[in-house]
Structure 1
Amino acid sequence: MLFLPFWSCYLPSCLTLYSTLWPITGKSTSNSSCGNPYYPRSKLNHAEEKQIKDEGVKNWLDDLQDFAYDVDDILDDFAYQELRLKLQKTRAQASTSKVQKLIPTCCTGGYFSPISFMFNAKMISKITAITDRLNSSNTRRSSLGLSEIMSQGATSKGKKPRLQPISLMDGAVDNNSDGVCVLSILGTGGMGKTTLAQLVYNDPSIKESFDHKSWVCVADDFDAVNITQTILRSLDADSRDENDLNLLQVKLKEKLSGKRFLLVLDDIWNESYSDWTILRAPFAAGTKIIVTTRLEKVSSNVDSVKAFYLDKLSHHDCLSIFAQHALKARSFAGHLQFKEIGENIVRRFNGLPLAAKAIGSLLRTVQDHSEWEKVYESEIWDLPEDPCGLIPALRLSYHYLPPHLKRCLAYCSIFPKDYEFEEEEIILLWRAEGFLQSKAKIQGKGLGKQYFQDLVAGSFFQRSSKDKSRFVMHDLMNDSAQLVAGEI
């Protein structure tokens, strides 16, 4: 007779519950079962959209996330107990004693052993507590007004340490009297500042005009030591890391002596003039610096010889970009059924090329006119721009991702801005996290490749301009991933 452990009847319910939680938590499980989920995906979609405006909803989602991790621990306990019982059964069957064969396995360390009874009691207590928390969460959900609807940031940083004194003198006290030429590219997020800088940086004539060039993504953390180290490594791959800013800058000055050097500092936010003067101290005549920033004060601080202001795209140009990504065409001439709704959607972009690319990619395979209308009528368009510059179009493109891609994208918030990665690298990390488990025939690496290509097609990943075998996330896409990942 086969004795089944008491908890086997609970396992399908736990898996059903857990499989409804992973779209928010980023967690996953290798099994799933049928039945009505406690939190339908449509309700979670509603919560994800509503949390942007309601702090109470955000707190509820945070608690739900903690709850999902506790369920994950229970499933781990189940898996361990199952493995232990299988091992005991194998050992018992391997025994040659006829007397032992007459004794049921359950009485020799199996399901009715003292250890199993202790486990059963422990699991009853845990499942009871989980059920109570689930009921409480459901009550809170109702009080928050999270109704069922039909629909398909970063950890706070500590105080920045004060920069060390350096021995080098800064010559930029009189409008670039040190011979350093600084150009700045100004524009709002998603306007194409980085793209313009890349076009210049990779132009063939640049290679002929300079002895060395270096690209540094500065982003939120203006770390003079790290920036200087990055520049040194670009000049000498064998350069030893050093935390003393003065020594680093002396080395950099020596290497650049008499050389023509192009430096791109992408996405600067730091408005401190003193920090800038310390950073530029090693540079002298022959150095050209391109700075991209959203802040006019930054452009002023870096003593730009010229500032290039990127204006919004015209409606016609924005429509063309949108059509290229949504319809693989330069216009709506061959797709008149989408022309009116397409033009209405484009007016939502406010002239931002990144918005046209993101939403165009979102609708690339959508042939249902009503789905285009849903995108146009979404309340997300009416939300104010995030303090970090996250535009509504990116929130919307994330909102319509299927759950399995949402958790994969949220995981990528671990990468710093401008980090270049290979497809295989990301797939292996997703696989290690258990994100690539499915009932479908495609498994493991094949499933990961499909997920990766889906995110590339959605413009969440783009090929590096420096190495076509590698990929990178736009800084606003990175902000998007950090926002949805929260403080995980």
Structure 2
Amino acid sequence: MENLINLHYLDIRGAKSIERMPIGIGKLTNLQRLSNFVIGKGDGHYIGELKNLPNLKGDFCISGLENVNGQHAGEVKLNEKLGIDRLVLQWSSNFEKDARNKEAEEQVLDSLRPQKKLEQLNIDNYGGAKFSSWIADSSFKNMLSLELCNCTSCKSLPSIGLLPLLKDLSIIGFDEVQKVGAEFFGENQLKPFVSLENLHFQRLPNWKEWDPCEGEEQVSKFPNLRELSIRECPQLLEKLPTRLPSLLKLQIYECPRLTVSISSFPSLCELSVRGCEELLDECSFSAKEVISLKTVSLSDISKFNISTKMKMLRFASSEHFHIPGWKELESLSQNGLGLVGHHFITIKDCPQLVSLETDEEGLKLDKIPSVESLTIWNCKRLNRLPKFLDALSFLTVVSIYGCSGLISFAENNFPPALNKLEIWECENLQNLVDEKENNKSMSSNICLLEHLDIRYCESLICLSSRGDICNRLRHLQVYNCSSLSSLFLNTKLPTMLKQLEIWNCPMLECIAQDFHETSDLECIKISGAQNIKSLPTGLDKLNHLQEIQIVNCSNMLVSFKESELPTTNLR
């Protein structure tokens, strides 16, 4: 490779099998872009070849730094490579922690000080016990992004608050850090993190205390912070910093001892909390000063300490409302939550959930219609949906998966605007609409359902006793419903149906009496329906039919005569 003296660009990203750089790469003096310089075991001195590549610019990564000593690293003169604006310094993630030479790695990091106009710095798998002072040097006035990842031996964080233009900061995988305090902000620093917008902590298993050093002064340490994320910090106690006037997005995951207070975050738009000791809101701001949350995700919160007034202000009109994996939740109402006011609702993996609303009589029905989408996954004990389902006048999409306790979808009518309904793996579902009460008010002509997809519902015998329940239905898919004996008891299909798919329904005896009223059908697919003996009559009337597929229907006697097939479109 040393003969390629005119080479300008060398990109080896993704070539993970490369263990070392070829000898003589330092002779490629015209090289401007080099994605990664890999140092192999025993080749530490080859890092010195970088001193002969003065024109490097853009993104640059040095990996295999566990094979380098401080003397060799000093030969690189990284601070003289003025074109490099994004730098990754990477040690091996497979390097055994107990065998690492902390002092040697500290010397290497000391020697790899980059040029002052650097914009982005990543340090991965560093094994030293402390960071070099240059990392927090305020002379790095162009530094916008800093990520420190898997620095498992470091006991404290550098004084990152001194970096004047830093916008994004990620601290990930620090096993030894127990406290974040004054050293993080910078000693005697009155205005740290003046530009920081995104702050992310993850996997600090022994972190117990975050001292925001707020004191009596009313100056925020994070005046422009927009997003704060703390994940997998199981020992973290007490509360978050209180003075975050610009905070818009807060994420707390797997911090079971942390009290999450949002009292002083009036501009918060997105809140995601999964696993914490307490969610607290003692906001003293007026209703006009508090912005309602647009996206809410809550799960595994031991104590929900929010007044009814604040719940209405914060939680009552979100765009997206998620409940993922809340193990002890039996009803949304037990924490004063509910369906009222939200637009897109998703509830997943709540094994104890029995009902969505317990106090349905006291609900303000004028606020319910805002619900547009409802998704429920793997809530095994959920035995019914709310009675007011048909009052959700804007509800267009419902998806229900793995709710084995559910017997029927609705007690009365379908929601009037419902366009798409998916029900999968609800083995005790017996019918879509509970018709045992002889509901006289049921009306199909206001039902807008066009897509119906039913799969793996082993107890379902019939979709409905009324064939006109879904007159506007265009796509009907029924898969693996082993007890299904008929689609509609009146043996009529919806008149606007375009696509009909029946798979693995061995008890199904009849699709319909005829096709006379379903002239829009374009596709018929039937497989694994051994009890069906014949297709409905009137196949020749389906002038829009493009595809017909019959598979594994051993008792069906099909003999297509030319006069029995439509004359156009069939492929």
TM above 0.5, yes or no, is no
TM-score between both structures, scaled by the size of structure 1: 0.20
Q: Which structure is larger by alpha-carbon Rg, 1 or 2?
A: 2
Specify which structure has the higher proportion of strand. Answer: 2
TM-score between both structures, scaled by the size of structure 2: 0.17
